[in-house]
Amino acid sequence: MTIQHSELTWQIPNEALEIPWSPSDRPRLYRVHITTYPAGSWAQYGFPDGTDCTPTLRTSWKPEGWESDPRSTDRDGNTADFWWPSTSRTYASRSAAQERAALIESYGATALVLETEAHWVPLDEAAASRKTERDQARIQKLEAKIEQIKQA
């Protein structure tokens, strides 16, 4: 099929277009991990029986010099509290992860950029590999049990 529009002509073939899969696409991924928070930014609460809970970040704490954006308000009209930037994201570029770490460190925390080598495998192959590993572990467990029975 041919479509003509002003000076541009499109050829639309009737066959499917196959794009080869390349496992080298984005071989490295990055995360940011906060290793230390500044003093005063967290609190340790305790239960009445004396046991401690996990340390909690204080929403009333603000980094020195931090001003909330007057356009950022809650439904009651109060300006927003300070929230630490999220570290749950995975980054495809090192520079993006380094920028997030720099933002976190500008608020007084210490952040670490982590890198991993990605091994891209089609999902059906990955599932088959995990099944084989589980089956092998089960075989070893059963063989150990058989050996115990033989020795008894």
Give the Cα separation of 152 and 150 in Å (integer).
6
User: 81-104: per-residue pLDDT in tens?
Assistant: 788 899 999 999 999 999 999 999
Give the Cα separation of 115 and 93 in Å (integer).
10
Q: Is 46 helix (H, G, I), strand (E, B) or coil?
A: strand
User: 25-44: per-residue pLDDT in tens?
Assistant: 668 999 999 999 999 888 88
CA distances from 128 to 122, 132, 141, 147 (A): 10, 6, 20, 28
Where exactly are the structural domains of the chain? 25-120, 122-152
Q: Please give the torsion angle defined by the CA atoms of residues 122, 128, 134 and 138, in that order, rounded to the nearest 10 degrees.
A: -170
Give the Cα separation of 149 and 46 in Å (integer).
51
Report pLDDT for 2. 61
Q: Grade residue 23 by pLDDT with cuts at 50, 70 and 90.
A: low
